[in-house]
Amino acid sequence: MTLARLSKERRLLRETVADFARAKVAPVISDIYRREEFPYELVAAMGRMGLFGLAFEERYGGMGGDVFTLCLAIEELARVDCSVAVALSAGVTLGAIPIHRFGTPAQKERWLPALCTGERIAGFGLTEPGGGTDTAAARTKAELDGDEWVINGSKAFITNSGTDITSLVTVTAVTGTRADGAKEISALVVPSGTPGFTVAPSYSKVGWCASDTHELGFADCRVPAEHLLGERGLGIAQFMSVLDESRIAISAVGAGMAQGCVDECVRHAKERTAFGQRIGAYQSIQFKIADMETRAHTARLAYYSAAASMLRGESFSKEAAMAKLVSSRAAMDNARDATQIFGGSGVMNDSPVGRFYRDAKILEIGEGTTEVQQMMIARHLGLS
């Protein structure tokens, strides 16, 4: 897939979201970011635009699209701000898609409609204080007591988990022991406000400062037995398949941020003067921006390719890992170069470039570190 081959509907969506990002997000996000607040009004506006429902059927209030269409919207948002893009990306791929993929008809009917309209959002509780990449180190436990699961433990760095509109968090928990002695891990839906479910104050983060992120606690937290999501014992397998899709979406964030750095630098290079001429006339600046544009283009092609494999029903785990690896590096490298081009103004917190620099590093860590992506790619090559 290339931009030239996008359908008319997808091109129109992309342009509409780009206009929204420039007209509505760009003027206000600096203040929201500085105050470290969740962008409720922007999220509500995205909900009214149908962005949270892009990947879901109309029967649930969705737009009848797919994850790739969602990624086009995410990329355009990330060209202006990462936090807003992540609110959408995580809200759909990590929040709603687990319910859509593995939920019972009753679970879907109960939770999906509000998630599709953006009236509510959801979190994805996999990472724990003692382990993120090492999912087998999970310590959160859930025991079946009659017709209820009793959950005890904690989760860390969970996006969209503590907002005023968060409806639920899907969490993994050890629910028993397998025949081979390994942990049996299942997924459970925990609605916000459930007794025993506590949300710690929002983290103070280096970047993504307008994104909602919390540590979660579970102390004798009881949910009905029917809140089991999918099949018992398949929680990790379910979450890993969700992460494959979400890595394409987070790759769109990286590609968008990389392109946003180019956008800002091209504008700056045409306006800023030094030693009697615009800095864009200097070959050193031209070459740096040319490399940045190449990285952004490559990141976009990588996530397009992974999405194409996904839409064809092919295996795409390796392609998603490569897209995530390429796009996060592109975002980090472009943010570094953009900051250098902007000089002193590039390290100001109210500068888009300053936000990009702070935000980019998280892309090399969240939803699987750079090293995890390398490990996954190597395994697909038979280098176990």
Domain count, the chain: 3
Rounded to 5°, the CA angle 37-41-46 comes to: 115
pLDDT at 350: 84
Shared domain for 164 and 295, answered yes or no, is: no
**H-helix or E-strand spanning residue 301:** helix 283-311
pLDDT at 5: 81
CATH of the domain at 92: 1.10.540.10
Shared domain for 295 and 171, answered yes or no, is: no
Q: Pick the last residue of a domain from 121, 145, 175.
A: 121
The whole-number mean pLDDT for each consecutive block of 10 residues of the chain, a chain of 384 residues, reads: 74 97 97 96 98 95 93 98 97 97 97 97 93 77 97 97 97 93 94 98 95 98 98 93 94 98 98 95 97 98 96 96 98 98 91 95 94 96 91
Q: Pick the last residue of a domain from 121, 155, 181.
A: 121
pLDDT at 341: 97
Cβ–Cβ under 8 Å, residues 121 and 156? no
Could you list the residue range(s) of the whole structural domain that residue 103 is in? Answer: 3-121
Residues ≥6 apart with Cβ < 8 Å to 294: none
Shared domain for 166 and 96, answered yes or no, is: no
Rounded to 5°, the CA angle 302-307-311 comes to: 155
pLDDT at 132: 67
Shared domain for 283 and 344, answered yes or no, is: yes
The catalytic residues are 367
Shared domain for 65 and 97, answered yes or no, is: yes
pLDDT at 134: 72
CATH of the domain at 207: 2.40.110.10
Shared domain for 242 and 368, answered yes or no, is: yes
Shared domain for 264 and 364, answered yes or no, is: yes
Cβ–Cβ under 8 Å, residues 137 and 114? no
Cβ–Cβ under 8 Å, residues 77 and 140? no
Least Cα distance to 96 among 206, 217, 202, 242 occurs for: 242
Report the helix count and the strand count for the chain, using DSSP H and E. Answer: 12, 10
- Measuring CA to CA, how many Å separate 243 from each of 89, 96, 257? 12, 13, 20
Least Cα distance to 60 among 96, 19, 98 occurs for: 96
pLDDT at 349: 84
Shared domain for 180 and 114, answered yes or no, is: no
CATH of the domain at 265: 1.20.140.10
Shared domain for 257 and 340, answered yes or no, is: yes
Q: Pick the last residue of a domain from 174, 207, 235.
A: 235
Tell me the chain's radius of gyration from C-alpha atoms: 21
Shared domain for 231 and 257, answered yes or no, is: no
pLDDT at 179: 87
Shared domain for 201 and 305, answered yes or no, is: no
Retrieve residue 107's tokens.
């679970």
| pTM exceeding 0.85 | yes
Cβ–Cβ under 8 Å, residues 226 and 165? no
Shared domain for 66 and 113, answered yes or no, is: yes
Share of residues in the chain with pLDDT > 90 (%): 91
Q: Where are the beta strands (DSSP E) in 54-147?
A: 121-125, 141-145
Retrieve residue 178's tokens.
């397998």
